[in-house]
Structure 1
Amino acid sequence: MDTTLPVDRSHDLSQPLDRLGPDETMKKESRYLRGTIAEGLVVPTTAAVPGTDIKLMKFHGIYQQDDRDLREERRRQKLEPAYQFMIRVRLPGGVCTPEQWLKLDEIGRFYGDNSLRLTTRQTFQFHGVLKWNLKRAIKNMNEVLLDTIAACGDDSRGVMSSVNPSLSSLHAELHALAKQTSDHVIPRSRAYHEIWLDEEKVATSGEEEPLYGPTYLPRKFKIGFVIPPVNDIDVYSQDLGFIAIAGADGELEGFNVAIGGGMGRTDNAPETYPRLASVIGFIPKDRVLEAAEAIISVQRDYGDRVVRAHARFKYTIDDKGLDWIKAEIERRLGFDLAPARDYRFDTNGDVLGWQTGTDGRHHFTLFIENGRVRDQGEYRLMEGIREIAKVHKGTFRVTPNQSLVISDIEPADRRRIADLLDQYGLAGANGASTLRLNSMACVALPTCGLAMAESERYLPTLITKLEPILEKNGLEKEPITLRMSGCPNGCSRPYIAEIAFTGRAPGKYNVYLGGGFHGQRLNKLYLENVGEPVILAEFEKLFAHYAKDRETGERFGDFAIRAGYVAEVTEGRYFND
């Protein structure tokens, strides 16, 4: 493909660097993401890395963090924070082999915090990795052909893909496209291979980034593929979403293209807001890579490189106008998008338990609360999946809702997998309450530096206190999407949930209501900066009213709007009104 697209480089090349944001200068001077990372890894006097290298390491899939549970005590002892690192794997479409699972399990036990974390973008994170073990962990991944390139940073992040085991052929085709797209849009710099895999260093003077240029993107860029009618990837939250359109024979014909989704915002900054992606047209399936490249290049050339809080693609679209952006995309493609085709979504949740695909293979989807895979007391979740991986001949698929699909099981092997699920008591997790099964949380404390309040560690407790209220009102079987984030940045995609909590301070949350059941509508602020007693009292009232006055088939988010608790949000720019 010709990558020499017509571009306007005024944002990152011709403007003096002192007029741009400091991150742009940092990227420009990084020697294509090398910085002094290699030197900082071997400094023995600190468990951290110096200066701007902590930002450059994000392009390599690595975040520097510290254990915030220990921060105050270490400060009193005049010790540096308990620095550690999070590593995020690049895993297009969330698919891995049993061999890869076993290696990831091993890394989590030997170098991490004795757990694996399934993320809301269908991949794995390791927490608690010490600086001295980073290269060992990444080299271990490389042994099973996994990497962490562009899992974070100002580039195209991990590419998501629908998990619908019953549609075997469509899922396989989408996963292949997700992997091709991911491989196509990752940075071409050899910095990752030099620093982490000890490959021979190359001269950077002739090195190029044909898609990104030396300053990469203004901010992160997220891509996902989805198969209606299940919107499991929350396609409207993606910077670029491909909505699969199948013909009458079930064969994939192409995609509706949606652009400009994004969840991040900042409290008390009304100029920041979440936005749902806008569908701009249809492309045949063989034009996916060039469409992705053209759309990314528009954001590269017109995204804000001065104010990072205003640098996501959603703001570029709203500033320039959707029609202008679409026309520019079509100009770079050299053809006009066809009119969008009809499609429908009816849920964004996972189908748990056993399913049989169109190819006759079996799949078991296991609920994993907030994606945390670890052994806790008698519940040996990590051990149980490890034993399954030792005998499983198919694949594992991480879902966008943090569940795990033990996939592609041959009929002759189903009994063996079922016996292991029973032996370790894993299938019992699928019997949790409907509210819990439709919940999701980000990591937050103690590792995320942005977290203002608990999320992963607190949400299970809050749900336990909400469950009796639902049961009292006969709503225990009613599916309601609930999401919690420890800060307003929205990693758990809270702003499209029917009920959402975002952290404001320890024990305090903003409460949002009115999101769409299948991710088609933003929610709206209902309560600000409240604690658990207020939350429980309010939901006593809300659930009782919903049980009494809801209409047949009416979802909780729809009811919250009709009953006047919150106004409907029709566009992201009005989210803070």
Structure 2
Amino acid sequence: MNLDMALAASSSSLFAGSLAGLSLNPDPVTRVPIDRTIGAPLRISCVGGGSQVRSTATATPATPTKRSQVEIFKEHSNFLRYPLNEDLLNENANVSEASTQIIKFHGSYQQYDREVKQSRNYSFMLRTKQPAGKVTNQLYLAMDELADEFGIGSLRLTTRQTFQLHGVLKKNLKTVMSTVIRNMGSTLGACGDLNRNVMAPPVPYHDKPEYVHAVETAEKIAALLAPQAGAYYDMWVDGEKIMSAEPPDVTEARNTNINGTNFENCPEPIYGVQFLPRKFKVAVTVPGDNSIDLFTNDVGIVVIMDDEGELEGFNLYVGGGMGRTHRIQNTFPRLSEPLGFVPKEDILYAVKAIVATQRDYGRRDERRYSRLKYLIDDWGIEKFKLVTEQYYGRTFHPVRDLPPWEFKSYLGWGEQGDGRLFYGLHVENGRIKGELKKTLREIIETYNLSVRISANQNLILCDIRQAWKSKINKSLAAIGVQLPRSIDPLNVTALACPALPLCPLAITEAERGAPAILERIRASMKKVGLGSKQPLVVRFTGCPNGCTRPYMAELGLVGDGPNSYQLWVGGTTNQTRLAQTFMEKVKVQELEKVFEPLFHYWKTERSHEDESFGDFAMRVGLETLKNYVQTFEGLPKKKKGGPKIINVNKDLYEALGKMAEAEGTSVTNLATKVLSSYVDSAPTAQ
């Protein structure tokens, strides 16, 4: 197929043959004719085939749209091979600028230790791709060994339910990558301009079908949107295809071309040569369970069961995303909004249609504005729905009503529903190291456990027999692991990204600074009279990209310069409302000057004791909060002296004690009542 033919085919409005093999609903649906005049899509055509395919790109309309440098790198990469395949062979410790972008698609970022000033000691961070956070026993043990042999001796659990392995040298990349692959893992698509890890609740319920469907759907979407051109296996395991076969319905959905969702005769039928404008994030959950921050994703999916407990379909939400740039107002965090409901047999086609819409209409000239959220914000949800329906070939039904959302940590012991147990382990900032790393390996290896990673950077040990419970408890207690009830609620919900010293985007500390700042937050809360168990959702990032989703926190600390943070307030405990910018460039050493008045105001002016800080902040308004902080003169000083002790004889005290017991009060309260009555009735002294 030549370029003109490919373009003509992509804009065809004919449905003949395009729905072949697609399972359709028995109920009448509206077919929407394709209309390419709605926008000015960058429609990239794919020409040729085979492992050495030559690719060309063009734009519609005839005047080419300006594209960023990364788009040019992708176009000339021969489907994610070049020049990375050449750069890996030289003796340099780093790779070229083009390869730095291309290796992201393979699941790696080039980094260097920013605290080493003499020279750049380059290394690579590897991120795995674990749909629903599922990790086999074999893969966990392999990652544990790789961290010691080729990394910095620790494993990092991410906020998207994956591993990160830091400190891998370029000369060891192939060894590490191939080890991951041969142990049934993958890093393909963990980074780069394509679908990232697909999230789902990490709890291993076997007796709750909605959770089982959520995990299965996450796995299928991950398979559907995985790169297909083979560069990953060519480069890291010499072309050997190790992964198991995918479900037939995934293959069918990928290959079915509806109104230009596919590039015909192309190694990448969905992505083409250009892939997506930016990263693309998907999450799947069940009604009421917001353990995965559903509304922060490009696509959020909710499993809908019918009255008989059978899978009926899915609600779809689109347009979420956290990334932004400080003091550039047209960059912003955004929550996803309802797109519609689709029947169960259509979910893969609907997701593919959303991806195609972003692929063809998302901005490729300026990466800052290339996320799906900006397309939807520009178009509005109705126009976006119309265009997506053209690729989907159907109209969306209205979303189904849902119960209120709740954050679930899944810490502690629970039943899987298959006779076995799981244990949710709190991991501070997601960093597994030292004695914890050693003990976890012993437990996981001894009992042949699988694990799951949560979106709150915690680890869930799965498939535990009842007889092993006490031994596991003893092993964890021996290294000081706290029971969930003993963990400060601030730590249970806190998130922090790695930030300094390795992340090239970090402006200030996050992971390393979070523990001390959390202690200072708790001290400030106690100082104003809030209890030691008062919950508050706090999240830290070293830069405004928002990897830990700080814009959903009740109190978000976002890197805003050396040793300073931008503060965001007003999120909710169940992650359903955006926070708002409160103060900028607050120095880390001056945080108490903000924390104490904020918490004092919250303590004294709450509408009720259970009013959360986020709800309180939004109720009184940010300007009122800011004015209170700026005019705060310190906590009220305690009055010197106090009530004097009044001595009474033993008989009188015992008599008061009996009277107090009869009235169900204390001796002090009774004595105060009696004396007050006497004083009130006594004649005024002259």
Normalising by structure 1, we get a TM-score of 0.91
**Amino acid in the other structure paired with 2:194:** D
**Amino acid in the other structure paired with 2:330:** E
Q: Where does residue 446 of structure 1 map in the other structure?
A: 501
Residues 172-227 of structure 1, C-alpha deviations (whole Å, 9 max, x = no match): 221121111101101112111111112279xxx97521001110100010000012
| Residues 1:305 and 2:395 aligned together | no
Q: Where does residue 180 of structure 1 map in the other structure?
A: 220
Tell me how far apart the structure 1 counterparts of residues 479 and 209 of structure 2 sit (CA, whole Å). Answer: 31
Pairwise mapping of residues 418-567 of structure 1 onto structure 2 (< 5 A)? 418-428=473-483, 431-472=486-527, 473-552=529-608, 553-565=610-622
Shift of the 451–538 alpha-carbon distance from structure 1 to 2, 3 Å rule, reads: same
**Amino acid in the other structure paired with 1:92:** P
Mapped contact 1:163–1:171 kept (Cα < 8 A) = no
Shift of the 564–19 alpha-carbon distance from structure 1 to 2, 3 Å rule, reads: closer
Pairwise mapping of residues 48-447 of structure 1 onto structure 2 (< 5 A)? 48-70=94-116, 72=117, 74=118, 79=119, 81-165=120-204, 168-199=208-239, 207-375=266-434, 380-428=435-483, 431-447=486-502
Mapped contact 2:563–2:587 kept (Cα < 8 A) = yes
Mapped contact 2:357–2:387 kept (Cα < 8 A) = yes
**Amino acid in the other structure paired with 1:410:** R
Shift of the 162–115 alpha-carbon distance from structure 1 to 2, 3 Å rule, reads: same
CA shift at 1:357, angstroms? Answer: 3.1
Q: Where does residue 646 of structure 2 map in the other structure?
A: none
Query: Which structure dedicates a bigger proportion of its chain to strand?
Result: 1
Mapped contact 2:411–2:484 kept (Cα < 8 A) = no
| Residues 1:10 and 2:42 aligned together | yes
Provide the aligned length of Structure 1 versus Structure 2. 553
Tell me how far apart the structure 1 counterparts of residues 154 and 140 of structure 2 sit (CA, whole Å). Answer: 12
CA shift at 1:7, angstroms? Answer: 8.9
Tell me how far apart the structure 2 counterparts of residues 144 and 567 of structure 1 sit (CA, whole Å). Answer: 56
**Amino acid in the other structure paired with 1:460:** P
Mapped contact 1:169–1:358 kept (Cα < 8 A) = no
Compare 482-491 and 13-22 and name the one that shifted more. 13-22
Mapped contact 1:7–1:301 kept (Cα < 8 A) = no
Q: Where does residue 25 of structure 1 map in the other structure?
A: 72
CA shift at 1:418, angstroms? Answer: 2.7
**Amino acid in the other structure paired with 1:530:** V
Instruction: Give SS of 2:78's match.
Output: coil
Tell me how far apart the structure 2 counterparts of residues 57 and 171 of structure 1 sit (CA, whole Å). Answer: 34
Tell me how far apart the structure 2 counterparts of residues 282 and 42 of structure 1 sit (CA, whole Å). Answer: 49
Residues 404-454 of structure 1, C-alpha deviations (whole Å, 9 max, x = no match): 111232334333433332333334576221111110011100110000001
Instruction: Give SS of 1:10's match.
Output: coil
CA shift at 1:248, angstroms? Answer: 4.1
Mapped contact 1:245–1:343 kept (Cα < 8 A) = no
Mapped contact 2:66–2:364 kept (Cα < 8 A) = no
Tell me how far apart the structure 2 counterparts of residues 11 and 335 of structure 1 sit (CA, whole Å). Answer: 22
CA shift at 1:256, angstroms? Answer: 1.0
Tell me how far apart the structure 2 counterparts of residues 502 and 243 of structure 1 sit (CA, whole Å). Answer: 30
Mapped contact 1:33–1:56 kept (Cα < 8 A) = yes
Mapped contact 1:263–1:489 kept (Cα < 8 A) = yes
Mapped contact 1:240–1:259 kept (Cα < 8 A) = yes
**Amino acid in the other structure paired with 1:225:** V
Compare 270-279 and 526-535 and name the one that shifted more. 526-535
**Amino acid in the other structure paired with 1:50:** S
Tell me how far apart the structure 1 counterparts of residues 429 and 359 of structure 2 sit (CA, whole Å). Answer: 33
Instruction: Give SS of 2:560's match.
Output: strand
Instruction: Give SS of 2:42's match.
Output: helix
Tell me how far apart the structure 2 counterparts of residues 124 and 430 of structure 1 sit (CA, whole Å). Answer: 26
Compare 16-25 and 381-390 and name the one that shifted more. 16-25
Shift of the 341–298 alpha-carbon distance from structure 1 to 2, 3 Å rule, reads: same
Mapped contact 2:449–2:462 kept (Cα < 8 A) = yes
CA shift at 1:99, angstroms? Answer: 1.6
Instruction: Give SS of 1:491's match.
Output: coil
CA shift at 1:284, angstroms? Answer: 2.3
Which consecutive unaligned segments of at least 5 residues does structure 1 have? Answer: 569-577
Mapped contact 1:139–1:197 kept (Cα < 8 A) = yes
Residues 54-73 of structure 1, C-alpha deviations (whole Å, 9 max, x = no match): 10000100100000111x2x
**Amino acid in the other structure paired with 1:565:** L
Tell me how far apart the structure 1 counterparts of residues 281 and 391 of structure 2 sit (CA, whole Å). Answer: 20
Residues 60-105 of structure 1, C-alpha deviations (whole Å, 9 max, x = no match): 00100000111x2x1xxxx4x0100000001111011122110110
Instruction: Give SS of 1:515's match.
Output: coil
CA shift at 1:495, angstroms? Answer: 0.6
CA shift at 1:482, angstroms? Answer: 0.6
**Amino acid in the other structure paired with 1:234:** D
Residues 366-413 of structure 1, C-alpha deviations (whole Å, 9 max, x = no match): 1111101111xxxx1100110111123442010000011112323343
CA shift at 1:308, angstroms? Answer: 0.9
Residues 488-519 of structure 1, C-alpha deviations (whole Å, 9 max, x = no match): 00000011111001101111110010012211
CA shift at 1:469, angstroms? Answer: 2.0
Residues 32-51 of structure 1, C-alpha deviations (whole Å, 9 max, x = no match): 1111212211211x210123
Normalising by structure 2, we get a TM-score of 0.77
Task: State the Cα RMSD in Å.
Answer: 2.3
Shift of the 69–286 alpha-carbon distance from structure 1 to 2, 3 Å rule, reads: same
Tell me how far apart the structure 2 counterparts of residues 34 and 261 of structure 1 sit (CA, whole Å). Answer: 31
Tell me how far apart the structure 2 counterparts of residues 156 and 369 of structure 1 sit (CA, whole Å). Answer: 28
Mapped contact 1:475–1:547 kept (Cα < 8 A) = no
Q: Where does residue 575 of structure 1 map in the other structure?
A: none
CA shift at 1:162, angstroms? Answer: 1.3
Tell me how far apart the structure 2 counterparts of residues 444 and 311 of structure 1 sit (CA, whole Å). Answer: 23
Shift of the 454–254 alpha-carbon distance from structure 1 to 2, 3 Å rule, reads: same
Which consecutive unaligned segments of at least 5 residues does structure 2 have? Answer: 1-16, 21-32, 45-56, 242-263, 626-686
Instruction: Give SS of 2:326's match.
Output: coil
**Amino acid in the other structure paired with 1:240:** V
**Amino acid in the other structure paired with 1:117:** R
Tell which structure's C-alpha radius of gyration is larger.
2
Mapped contact 1:392–1:417 kept (Cα < 8 A) = no
Compare 59-68 and 13-22 and name the one that shifted more. 13-22
Percentage identity across aligned positions? 37
